Amino acid sequence: MYQSVDKKQRILYERSCTDCFCCLLFTAFLGGMIFVGVIALQEGNPHRLYRGYNYNGRLCGEGTLEGRPLLFWPIAPLEVLANITTTEKFVRLDVVNSTSPPDYTPGTVLGTYAGFIDPSTPICVKKCPSALNVVNNDTVRYPMRHTTTGEVAETDPSRDTVSETTTLTYVDTPVYATTKLMHAYCLPTNATVAKDLIARIGLDSHTQQFQRAIGSLEEGWPFVLIGAVCALLGGFLYLLLLSCCAAPMVWIATVMIPVSMLGMGAYLTYSGFVEQSDYLVNTFGEDSSEWTKWVGVALMVAGVLFSMLICCACDSINIAIGVIEAAVECLFDIPKMLTTPLFGFVSQGLAYLMLCVGLVYIVSSGTMESKTITALGTGSNAPDAIPIQGIHRHFHLDDRLTGFALYWFFGGLWVVEFMAAFWQFVASYGVALWYFTLPEPGSNDRSVSCPIYYGVKAAAFIKYLLEIVKKRIQSATGGENGVVSCLIRCMQGCISCFQWCAEYVNSNAYIECVINSVSFCPAAAQAVARLIKAAPAVVFLNGFSKIFSLLGVLSIGLSTSWGMYALMTTVKPFNDPADDWFVESPLVVGAFVLIIALSLSSLVMLVFDQTADTIFYCFLVERDENNSEVYAPNRLRTLLADQSGKQMQIAQERAENAKMREMDRMTYI
With 0-12 CB in 10 A as exposed, 13-18 as middle and 19+ as buried, what is 183? Answer: exposed
Q: Write the single-letter amino acid at 318.
A: N
What is the overall mean pLDDT for the chain?
Answer: 70
Confidence at 35, pLDDT banded by 50, 70, 90: very high
Quote the Cα angle for 525-528-533, to 5°: 130
How far, in Å, CA of 169 to CA of 144, rounded?
5
- What's the pLDDT tens digit per position in 15-25? 666 667 777 88
Contact between residue 311 and residue 411 where contact means Cβ atoms under 8 Å apart: no
501 Rama class: left (phi>0) / alpha (psi -120 to 50) / beta: alpha
Kindly report the backbone phi and psi dihedral angles of residue 572, in degrees, each rounded to the nearest multiple of 5, phi listed first. Answer: -60, -45
- What's the pLDDT tens digit per position in 68-122? 888 898 888 877 776 666 666 777 775 443 333 333 333 333 333 447 888 888 8
Q: What are the CA-CA distances from residue 471 to residues 346, 433, 466, 468, 553 (Å)?
A: 26, 39, 9, 5, 28
Q: Write the single-letter amino acid at 193.
A: V
- What's the pLDDT tens digit per position in 455-479? 344 444 445 555 555 555 555 555 4
Contact between residue 283 and residue 262 where contact means Cβ atoms under 8 Å apart: no
What DSSP designation does 74 have? P
- What's the pLDDT tens digit per position in 135-151? 888 888 888 777 666 65
Ranges of beta strands (E only) in 264-413 are 367-370, 373-374, 387-388, 393-396
How far, in Å, CA of 636 to CA of 649, rounded?
20
Residues 6+ apart with CB under 8 A from 345: 599, 600, 603
Residues 6+ apart with CB under 8 A from 595: none
Angle between helices 20-43 and 459-475 (to 10 degrees): 50
The three-class DSSP label of residue 114 is: coil
* Bridge-based pairing state of the strands 178-181 and 185-188: antiparallel
Reported as half-sphere exposure (CB side, CA atoms, 13 A), residue 294 has a value of 4
pLDDT of residue 483: 53
pLDDT of residue 465: 53
Range from 38-42, 129-133, 267-271, 297-301 carrying the lowest mean pLDDT: 267-271
How far, in Å, CA of 74 to CA of 121, rounded?
7
pLDDT above 70 covers what percent of the chain? 59
How far, in Å, CA of 610 to CA of 92, rounded?
62
- What's the pLDDT tens digit per position in 209-240? 555 555 556 566 778 888 888 888 888 888 77
- Does 291 score more than 50 pLDDT? yes
Which of 141, 134, 227, 122 is closest to 175 using CA atoms?
Answer: 134
Question: CA-based Rg of the chain, rounded to a whole angstrom?
Answer: 35
Which of 319, 370, 395, 323 is closest to 643 using CA atoms?
Answer: 319
Q: What are the CA-CA distances from residue 198 to residues 57, 194, 205 (Å)?
A: 20, 6, 9
How far, in Å, CA of 39 to CA of 163, rounded?
42
**DSSP conformation letters of 21-49:** HHHHHHHHHHHHHHHHHHHHHHH--THHH
Range from 141-150, 425-434, 439-448, 568-577 carrying the lowest mean pLDDT: 439-448
Distance of CA 248 to the CA centre of its chain: 33
Confidence at 658, pLDDT banded by 50, 70, 90: low
- What's the pLDDT tens digit per position in 151-194? 555 555 555 566 667 677 788 888 888 888 767 888 888 777 77
Q: State if pTM tops 0.75.
A: no
How far, in Å, CA of 212 to CA of 474, rounded?
30
Q: Which residues pair with 169 in a beta bridge?
A: 144
- What's the pLDDT tens digit per position in 343-391? 777 787 788 888 888 888 888 887 766 554 343 333 333 344 444 455 6
- What's the pLDDT tens digit per position in 528-553? 788 777 777 777 777 777 777 788 88
Which of 391, 375, 377, 371 is closest to 84 using CA atoms?
Answer: 375
* Bridge-based pairing state of the strands 70-72 and 185-188: parallel
Contact between residue 180 and residue 165 where contact means Cβ atoms under 8 Å apart: no
- What's the pLDDT tens digit per position in 598-641? 877 887 787 788 788 888 888 888 777 766 566 666 666 666 55
